[in-house]
Structures are given as C-alpha cells and as structure tokens.
C-alpha cells in the first residue's frame, strides 16, 4: 500500500517566539492517514487493549509548523505521529528557543495528560509534515488507569523521553555544533521512512538554539565530507555510518535507551 502524501507545509514564523497556536489539526478520513499501528506505541498494545483504544483514535494531518500545544495551555489531546515528527521546545523570555526532545512514530505527544498534569511550560511544534492520530485527554487517562499493560508501556516511554531530554541538554552544553547537527539528523532519520529530511537551516538553528551561520558552516563541512547533500531545504544523508562515526555518544545513548525500554526496540 503506498504511503499517503504529507500534508502541505505551512511557513514557520521567522522566530520561534512568534509561533502561536493555530486551529487544531483537522480530522481526516481514516484511509488518508494510513495504519494507526505505524505508530510503535500503538503497535505494541495487546489485541484486547488495541480494540479498546482504536475506537478513540482520530486521524489528523500534521502540517509543518502546526503548534499542537502551547506553554501553559491545557492539553486536550495526545498525538501519536505515524509519518510526522514533532519537536518539544522550551522558550526563553527573550524569544530564544531550543529543542529538548523529538517525537515521531516511536511515541506520543502529550505525556502530561496521563502523568497527572494538564499543561506544560514547553510547546510542541510539527517540524516534519505528515500524519498521525490523536486521542482525547479523558480517553488516554482512562486507558492509563484501567490497564496495567498500558500504564507500564506509557511509563517506559516516558522514561525513554526523559532520558532523551537529559542527553540533549548535555549535548547542547558540551559538544560541538558539528556533533549536535549529526545527532539531530540521525534522530530525525530514525523517525522517517527514507534518508531525506525536508528542513531549512533556519529551522535547524532554531531547534538547536544556535545562530544560522553556525548551522550553515556545519552543514557545509558535512557536505564536503560527502556525508550529506543539501539543496533548497532538502537534506539527503549519503553516508549514515559515516554520520554515526562523526557524531558524539549522545545519539547512541538515546537510541539504545529507546531500544531497551520499548517492546519493539523503537530506534534504529
């Protein structure tokens, strides 16, 4: 079955601080969004739990730049990406931003819904357009409370997500921009079906919390080493093993923790 085309991209604001919630993602006809179990958390559910949860899933398009939740705003839904990638970001008062975690088909967006809180000081922004499914807050809380299997799965995912956040914080503080860019590209590839990433250098700079000029220099260095090619917002990874050798240990730490904690070894 051919993969559905990604929804149209929408321009991101020129600074992360200018991003603001738009209308919530619009529901789709189920056949346009593909198989919900392309999301690895949903695929890990036993059949009985899957049958219960399936009726609460709503397919949605996740276009580039869509803000799924904003800082301090009560969350209404949890999102299970299948082909999209979502950045979890934190902002400063000055409008600067940094990505603290990335979520794709290995996980969900909306952990506060079942962890006892209803909001978060961060924001969630789609950084690679695609599709996914959402579940209402009451539905995911009910599933979490009703089933020990669901509870254990979501708690293990939350532990993996916390590990990713901690490792990215260390990486951003102690490693070179070249290494950070390699880690960022590899984590993105793990959540995409191919070896091409649609992204601008400006967006990468915003995610890493650095100047665009630094990203340009690092990308040119990777291109000269024949690890990637970059043209008009498209990065193609030409040599993944070479990229893995060039990055710091942070990528492997995150990847291995997801493999350890999640049933199907979510991570490549």
Cα Rg of the chain (Å, integer): 18
CATH (one of 2.20.25.90, 1.10.10.10, 3.30.420.40, 2.102.10.10) for 176-247: 1.10.10.10
Rounded mean pLDDT, 110-114:
95
pLDDT tens string 169-191: 999 999 999 999 999 999 999 99
**119 against 161, higher pLDDT:** 161
Spans of all domains in the chain: 16-147, 176-247
pLDDT confidence of residue 9: 46
pLDDT for residue 20: 41
The pLDDT score that the predictor gives to residue 118 is 81
Structure tokens at 80: 């299970």
pLDDT at 27 over 80: no
Judged against a pLDDT cut of 80, whether residue 253 lies above it is answered with yes
- Nearest in space to 201 (alpha carbons), one of 216, 186, 187: 216
Convert the pLDDT of each residue in 79-106 to its tens digit.
Answer: 999 999 999 998 888 878 889 999 999 9
Assigned token pair, 83: 């082909």
- Per-residue pLDDT of 201-243, as tens digits, reads 998 998 898 999 999 999 999 999 999 999 888 999 999 999 9
State the pLDDT at residue 39.
Answer: 95
What CATH class has 16-147?
Answer: mainly beta
What is the pTM assigned to this prediction? 0.86
Section 95-118 average pLDDT:
92
Cβ contacts of residue 119 below 8 Å, gap of 6+? 69, 71, 72, 73, 74, 75, 112
Q: Is the pLDDT of residue 13 over 50?
A: no
Amino acid 24: pLDDT: 61
């Amino acid at each position: 079955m051919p993969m559905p085309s990604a929804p149209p991209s929408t321009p991101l604001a020129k600074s992360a601080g200018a991003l603001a919630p738009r209308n919530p993602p619009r529901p789709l006809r189920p056949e346009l969004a593909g198989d919900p179990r392309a999301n690895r958390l949903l695929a890990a559910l036993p059949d009985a739990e899957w049958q219960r949860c399936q009726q609460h899933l709503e397919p949605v398009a996740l276009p580039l730049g869509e803000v799924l939740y904003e800082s301090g705003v009560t969350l209404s839904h949890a999102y299970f990406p299948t082909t999209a990638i979502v950045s979890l970001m934190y902002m400063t008062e000055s409008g600067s931003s940094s990505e603290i975690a990335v979520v794709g088909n290995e996980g969900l967006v909306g952990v506060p819904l079942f962890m006892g809180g209803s909001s978060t000081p961060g924001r969630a922004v789609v950084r690679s357009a695609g599709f996914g499914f959402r579940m209402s807050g009451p539905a995911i809380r009910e599933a979490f409370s009703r089933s020990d299997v669901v509870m254990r799965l979501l708690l293990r995912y939350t532990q993996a997500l916390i590990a990713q956040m901690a490792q990215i914080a260390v990486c951003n503080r102690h490693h070179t921009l070249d290494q950070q860019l390699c880690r960022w590209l590899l984590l993105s590839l793990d959540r995409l079906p191919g070896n091409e990433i649609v992204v601008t250098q400006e967006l990468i700079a915003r995610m890493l919390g650095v100047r665009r000029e630094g990203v340009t220099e690092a990308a040119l260095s990777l291109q000269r080493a024949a690890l990637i090619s970059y043209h008009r917002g498209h990065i193609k990874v030409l040599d993944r093993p070479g990229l893995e050798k060039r990055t710091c240990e942070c990528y492997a730490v995150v990847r291995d923790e997801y493999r350890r904690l999640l049933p199907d070894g979510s991570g490549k």
